[in-house]
């Protein structure tokens, strides 16, 4: 299979949270399957509408955002570089995950001190940047239309994405944009389905290289243990 873009994500080991999350989103990136949606009562809209935006990425937390390979680099080179990097990086242990409203969408976010995770993500973004092709003018224009701060515009120019380094906030997206009332309804509907599945502590002991297929869906390609 050919992939147009690559990304480095935190994906979760198989278990109840992954099974529910993949069904909720409608895409299992590890298996390349589209599971049936779970029955969740109290939603303001059908699940497939609520999850349309994050579906193609699968259940994940972004570390290095999607990028096209730079000229002269091959996928095997990227695999080797990420494997070598992960072998030098230590796992990160966080207090846990919580269901959180971030602006207009819902996500799972880490609780407790996230400094080690932020440092890990910054290292991955910087070390793998030689593999990233520069953004096109169209891509830059699209990003500049967002309400970015001066710092975020600087990061977009330097690293191809505005929400990295000191602007990074790890999250596992569960919905697209929702109105405040919808977000609260979805939060209340999801809480009883998630609370016994959320890890405590939340240990990040691997990073996953993912690839975007011709339909825009991401697939998990290889999971690399953090063994430094």
Per-residue pLDDT reduced to its tens digit, 70-82: 999 999 999 999 9
Helices 115-127 & 75-88 angle (0-180, nearest 10): 150
CATH code, domain with 193: 3.90.1140.10
Does residue 146 lie within any of the structural domains? Answer: no
Does residue 139 lie within any of the structural domains? Answer: no
Predicted local distance difference test score (pLDDT) of residue 9 = 98
Does residue 88 lie within any of the structural domains? Answer: yes
Does residue 44 lie within any of the structural domains? Answer: yes
> What is the number of helices (H) and of strands (E) in the chain?
7, 9
Would you call 139 exposed, middle or buried from its count of C-beta atoms within 10 A (0-12, 13-18, 19+)?
Answer: middle
Predicted local distance difference test score (pLDDT) of residue 146 = 76
Would you call 25 exposed, middle or buried from its count of C-beta atoms within 10 A (0-12, 13-18, 19+)?
Answer: buried
Query: What CA–CA distance (Å, rounded) separates 159 from 135?
Result: 9
Q: What is the band of 124 on the pLDDT scale with cuts at 50, 70, 90?
A: very high
Q: Are 219 and 79 in contact (CB under 8 A)?
A: no
Mean pLDDT of 96-103: 97
Domain assignment of residue 180, given as a range: 5-134+170-225
Q: Is the pLDDT of residue 162 over 80?
A: yes
Does residue 199 lie within any of the structural domains? Answer: yes
């Amino acid at each position: 299979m050919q992939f147009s873009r690559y990304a480095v994500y935190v994906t979760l080991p198989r278990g109840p949270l992954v099974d529910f999350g993949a069904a909720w989103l409608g895409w299992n990136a590890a298996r390349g399957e589209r599971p049936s949606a779970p029955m969740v009562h109290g939603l303001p809209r059908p699940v497939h509408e609520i999850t349309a935006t994050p579906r193609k990425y699968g259940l994940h937390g972004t570390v290095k955002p999607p990028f096209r390979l730079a000229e002269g680099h091959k996928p095997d080179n990227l695999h080797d570089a990420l494997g070598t990097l992960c072998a030098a990086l230590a796992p990160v242990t966080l207090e846990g995950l919580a269901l959180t409203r971030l602006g207009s969408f819902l996500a799972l976010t880490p609780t407790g001190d996230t400094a080690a995770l932020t440092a890990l993500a910054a290292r991955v973004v910087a070390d793998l940047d030689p593999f990233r092709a520069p953004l096109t003018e169209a891509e830059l224009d699209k990003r500049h239309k967002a309400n970015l701060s001066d710092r975020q515009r600087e990061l977009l120019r330097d690293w191809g994405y505005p929400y990295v380094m000191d602007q990074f906030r790890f999250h596992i997206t569960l919905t697209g944009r929702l109105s405040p009332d919808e977000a609260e309804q979805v939060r209340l509907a999801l809480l009883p389905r998630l609370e016994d599945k959320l890890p405590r502590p939340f240990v990040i002991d691997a990073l996953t290289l993912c690839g975007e297929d011709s339909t825009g869906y991401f697939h998990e390609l290889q999971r690399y243990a953090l063994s430094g």
